[in-house]
Amino acid sequence: MSLFEQLGMVMLRSLDPEKSHHFALSALRAGLAPLPGPVTSPRLKTKFAGMEMPNPIGLAAGFDKNAEAIPQLSRAGFGFIELGAVTPRPQPGNPKPRLFRLTEDQAVINRFGFNNDGMEEITNRLARCRHSHHRTDIPVGLNLGANKDSEDRAGDFAKVLARCGNFIDFATVNVSSPNTERLRDLQGPEALEALLAGVMDARKGLDHNVPILLKIAPDLDNSELMEIAEVARKAALDGVIATNTTLSREGLKSAHKNEAGGLSGKPLFEKSTRVLAQLSRHLGTDVPLIGVGGVGSALDAYTKIRAGASLVQVYSAMVYHGLSLAPRIARGLDELLEKDGYDSVLEAVGTGRDAWL
């Protein structure tokens, strides 16, 4: 991390967390953040659901909810980025304060509640950026959400895909956020099958094939993961993201540890990696996985890959380590792969899964 970025991080941490988040996005759009372009090598180049990535390190949903900084984020060293979550209608989300730093735990708790500008405004931004010469050509995905007061939450996911789908490279069905009441009920097999069928129908009307991913919670037991795996196969999903934030508060030290919302960051690493490994065992090679939860170093990313992930996403660790974390992780991962004699990321996927079972 450069001295300039270190000073910027000190300034950002002095602000209220949500104001800091908005300021970071503004600084990014203004060109005040490191933008090295995609970090890549023959070992790091990878494919997932028909998409080609320069490296397997992606940005998780939640950082750029409203698709405001696509050109800049596409040049920040990531192999792919995910925007959103986006709902059909704009909504303000939950009352503030709703974002908390747990510095002693290197963690974050949020209860945003799908605050976003709505699919119409976000589709306009996606369309403007789709062929912009200011962006690097890496996959750009969208996290699909449902309005809090919707009479048909399952239908909301299909509605957002139908509106935004022509301007994205993949879409994630997010039924695992803990911050919209009863949203996680949609993870049940019957409800999930019906929801995914609607999303798949909406995909048929798009002008290109958009891979559909499912993001699951880390608070699922093994029998629930087996049900998810079966639904994923039946629905012919293109991938599963494991995992979203957790409701667990085990072992936390920070003053904000009892705030309501989803916990992300370092304390989530073991829990999410265990779920990833279990799901990898159930799915085998049928449906590829993306590992997310507590990734803050190249070794963390490598551990997720060896536990069964083909790609890895980061977000909360950037609160403590800056935007340059992504290219640092990618370069470090390249070194780890080389050290262990792997010629590609794919060769390492699942090689350490048994240690987590």
- My answer on whether omega of the bond before 243 falls inside 30° of 0, hence cis, is yes
Bridge partners, residue 82, by sequence: 141
> Would you say 85 is a known binding-site residue?
yes
- Name the active-site residue from 20, 177, 272, 324: 177
> Would you say 50 is a known binding-site residue?
no
> Would you say 269 is a known binding-site residue?
no
> Would you say 179 is a known binding-site residue?
yes
> Would you say 170 is a known binding-site residue?
no
Known catalytic residue at 177: yes
SS (HEC) of 87-148: CCCCECCCCCCCEEEEHHHCEEEECCCCCECCHHHHHHHHHHHHCCCCCCCCCEEEEECCCC
DSSP 8-state secondary structure symbol assigned to residue 60: P
> Would you say 63 is a known binding-site residue?
yes
C-alpha triplet 306, 262, 235: angle, nearest 5° = 60
> Would you say 112 is a known binding-site residue?
yes
> Would you say 110 is a known binding-site residue?
yes
Residues 303, 273: contact at Cβ < 8 Å?
A: yes
> Would you say 94 is a known binding-site residue?
no
> Would you say 64 is a known binding-site residue?
yes
What tokens appear for 236 in the block? 């012919």
Distance set, CA 332 to CA 58, 346, 352 (Å): 15, 16, 18
Write out the binding residues for FMN.
Answer: 61-65, 85, 143, 174, 215, 243, 265, 294, 315-316
Write out the binding residues.
Answer: 61-65, 85, 110-114, 143, 174, 179, 215, 243-245, 265, 294, 315-316
Catalytic sites, residue numbers: 177
Write out the binding residues for substrate.
Answer: 65, 110-114, 174, 179, 244-245
